[in-house]
Amino acid sequence: MRNTKPLTALFVMVVSCVLCVAQPRVLIVTAHPDDESGCAATVYKITHELGGTADLAVITNGEAGYKYSTLANSIYGTELTNEEVGRKELPHIRKKELMAGGSWIGITNYFFFDQLDTYYTLDADTVLSMVWDVAWVKERLSKIIRDGNYDFVFTMVPTEETHGHHKAAGIIALQTVQALANKNVPVPVVLGMAGGRIDSTKPYTQYRGVAVTARDENAPIFEVDLLKKFGYNNKLDYRIIVNWLIAEHKSQGTMQTYMNIGTKENFIFFAMNGRNRIREAQKLFQALSESTP
């Protein structure tokens, strides 16, 4: 009798590979409540159209956002724009707003790291060396990634012009995944949330001096088209989802003034993933381009 074991093993591999694309597991790693707006439609499509799951790890509670809370003063009945009041009240308010927004895009688990949101800066080095407890953040994030069996991590791209906290969150996520890979732990593919518009005249390469942040410049930019039409008379598109999410962030007054400009959610592929894993990202975004609500 023929030995069918190799065929059975092949069948299981094929089925599980199809499933891993069909039901992707994603961990989002950001700096502030509301940064997840940069992947809102993509995450919605993953959880609602592909049957996947998404969790969110957020490093600060965003209390430095008190300056933008003017419209929320009357909603919450307190003077959030007063720095002392805002820094005390915003951590719990912004957690609630984050989870309200996350409910529309299907986020399951929230991991709050409760690190200080000091002030706006472009400097990631000070944030990493003096403000956040980086060793503890990495240790906890490492455990979350090991336990979560994620296929992908979406994190912030440490571009020169972005907030130092965004840079630091991206660097921490990449270094944590790299450290696990170095121990031969199976790791997710890390993709960088690159916003709605990519400036082709100033393409991102890497954060100065930190090799793990390098983009694979031969990999494609992956994208979800927010303008893809669906529904009655093709009148609906994915900007609606993004607007649902940002509308929950009542204490942050400015997002609606610029978020609607974007027509895509772009993602870059980091070189540390290894070129052999580009295919996994291609399969995900191919599935996303074909799926509809």
List residues near Zn ion by CB under 5 A: 32, 35
Q: How far is the CB of 77 from Zn ion (least distance, A)?
A: 26
Name the residue number minimizing CB distance to Zn ion. Answer: 32
The phi and psi torsions of 22 (rounded to 5 degrees) equal -70, -35
Rg value, the chain, Cα? 20
Query: In this complex, which beta carbon is closest to Zn ion, that of residue 156 or of residue 191?
Result: 156
Query: In this complex, which beta carbon is closest to Zn ion, that of residue 32 or of residue 215?
Result: 32
Q: How far is the CB of 58 from Zn ion (least distance, A)?
A: 10
Q: How far is the CB of 221 from Zn ion (least distance, A)?
A: 21
Q: How far is the CB of 169 from Zn ion (least distance, A)?
A: 9
Q: How far is the CB of 61 from Zn ion (least distance, A)?
A: 12
Q: How far is the CB of 91 from Zn ion (least distance, A)?
A: 15
Query: In this complex, which beta carbon is closest to Zn ion, that of residue 35 or of residue 63?
Result: 35
Could you tell me the strand order of the sheet in which 189-193 lies? 107-115, 53-60, 25-30, 152-156, 189-193, 264-269, 222-225
Query: In this complex, which beta carbon is closest to Zn ion, that of residue 256 or of residue 289?
Result: 256
Q: How far is the CB of 166 from Zn ion (least distance, A)?
A: 6
Q: How far is the CB of 127 from Zn ion (least distance, A)?
A: 12
In the structure encoding, which two tokens stand for residue 113, read together? 């790291």
Q: How far is CA 186 from CA 15, 70, 109, 151, 273, in A?
A: 19, 46, 21, 10, 11
CA distance 138 to 172: 7
